[in-house]
């Protein structure tokens, strides 16, 4: 199985490679990752110049800055192969494949990367934004279990899903939710990350915070963003809050208490707590940057 990233992917900002001012802003932003976009955000006549801007940006990335993915055009498009080769040469952390329909699209990109001796750390992320991608999520998850496939993140493309299916984009996303949940489930089956789709209205930050909370409740690892104003709400929503940290600490402390040594199930404040909750609590504390004392999970 692929290795889960050491860094979180709470806030993942799209930056059009054709937008010089936006690219220049990235160094000052506190997002966990950026997606330098060569695809939907770049007009056909600007594709070649955007590819050159991407090269310069990725080559000049500061060390310790955000994780960088490059979203290329589909390999079947006139720009896809040149994009893939340019991205591979620029050495981002990941290449994001748009309009993925099934495992063949990942394997084609793998073959092209292997032919250029791309390092094994160069990851592939997959946009899940077509009806066939949703239908093929199970097969994509199976493929992702093989580290050689490089696939380590599903990215929900909600605007394209709305366009391709005709569902209405209601504020509560009720018609998209079944597909979003399927993305999360299949990411978990594969042991990879899942990122929620974008919120288009970057001026309504209250609505955006609600959508972040919803994505977090659905189990997503983070959210894709279109505007710097969305970074802080996403970081907040996808970080454990103070109450969750306190609860997790209480669970870890209870299992570490001498009177509970060797017990598989205990009670805290009238609630049943099992060792699976201890594992969950330890994961949450690790996400909050607080590993805490380890208790032997095999015990009891």
Q: Which stretch binds Mg ion (CB under 5 A): 62-70, 131-139, 153-161, 167-175?
A: 153-161
- Backbone dihedral angles phi then psi of residue 184, each to the nearest 5 degrees: -65, -45
Position 160 contacts ligand COA (CB under 6 A): no
Least Å from the CB of residue 58 to ligand COA:
15
Say if CB 225 and CB 14 are below 8 A apart.
yes
Min dist. Cβ of residue 37 to ligand COA (A): 5
Min dist CB 187 to ligand COA, Å, is: 20
Binding residue for ligand COA, selected from 2, 10, 11, 14, defined by CB under 6 A: 14
Task: Dump the DSSP string for 47-62.
Answer: HHHHHHHHHHHHHTPP
- Among ligand COA, Mg ion, none, the one that 160 touches (CB under a kind-dependent 5 to 8 A) is Mg ion
Does 157 help bind Mg ion (rule: CB under 5 A)?
A: yes
Long-range contacts for 210-216 (Cβ within 8 Å, ≥24 apart)? 211/173, 212/236, 212/237, 212/238, 213/237, 214/172, 214/173, 215/180
The binder of 186, among ligand COA, Mg ion, none, by C-beta within 5 to 8 A per type, is: none
Please state the φ and ψ torsions of residue 94, each to the nearest 5 degrees.
-150, 155
Angle between helices 177-190 and 137-144 (to 10 degrees): 20
Among 69, 226, 248, 284, binds ligand COA (CB under 6 A): 226
Asked whether position 80 contacts Mg ion by CB under 5 A, the answer is no
Say how far apart CA 246 and CA 241 lie, in whole Å: 9
Bridge partner list, 33: 12, 67
Site string for Mg ion, 110-139 (x = CB under 5 A): -------------------x----------
160 touching Mg ion, by CB under 5 A? yes
What distance in Å separates the CA atoms of residue 9 and residue 16, rounded to the nearest whole number?
19
Q: Which residues pair with 266 in a beta bridge?
A: 273
The footprint of ligand COA on residues 26-65 (CB under 6 A) is 37, 40-41
Residue ranges that bind ligand COA, judged by CB under 6 A: 13-16, 19, 21-22, 25, 37, 40-41, 198, 226-228
Residue ranges that bind Mg ion, judged by CB under 5 A: 40, 129, 157, 160
């Amino acid at each position: 199985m692929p290795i889960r990233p050491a860094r979180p992917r709470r806030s993942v900002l799209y930056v059009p490679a054709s937008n010089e001012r936006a690219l220049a802003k990235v160094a000052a932003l506190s997002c966990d990752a950026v997606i330098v976009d060569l695809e939907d955000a770049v007009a056909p006549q600007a594709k070649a110049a955007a590819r050159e801007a991407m090269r310069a940006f990725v080559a000049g990335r500061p060390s310790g800055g955000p994780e960088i993915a490059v979203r290329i055009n589909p390999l079947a498009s006139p720009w896809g192969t040149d994009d893939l080769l340019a991205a591979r040469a620029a050495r981002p952390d990941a290449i994001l494949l748009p309009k993925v329909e099934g495992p063949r699209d990942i394997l084609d990109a793998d073959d092209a990367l292997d032919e250029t001796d791309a390092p094994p750390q160069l990851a592939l992320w997959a946009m899940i934004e077509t009806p066939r991608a949703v239908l093929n999520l199970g097969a994509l998850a199976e493929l992702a279990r093989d580290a050689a496939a490089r696939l380590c993140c599903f990215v929900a493309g909600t605007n394209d899903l709305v366009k391709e299916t005709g569902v209405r984009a209601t504020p509560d996303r009720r018609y998209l939710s079944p597909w979003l949940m399927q993305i999360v489930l299949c990411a978990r089956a594969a042991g990879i990350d899942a990122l929620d789709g974008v919120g288009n209205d970057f001026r309504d930050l209250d609505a955006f915070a609600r959508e972040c909370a919803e994505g977090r409740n659905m189990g997503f690892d983070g959210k894709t963003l279109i505007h710097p104003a969305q970074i802080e709400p996403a970081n907040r929503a996808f970080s454990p809050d103070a109450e969750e940290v306190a609860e997790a600490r209480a669970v870890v402390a209870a299992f570490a208490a001498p009177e509970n040594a060797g017990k598989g199930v205990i009670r805290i404040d009238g609630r049943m707590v099992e060792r699976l909750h201890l594992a969950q609590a330890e994961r949450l504390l690790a996400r909050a940057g607080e590993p805490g004392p380890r208790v032997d999970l095999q015990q009891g």
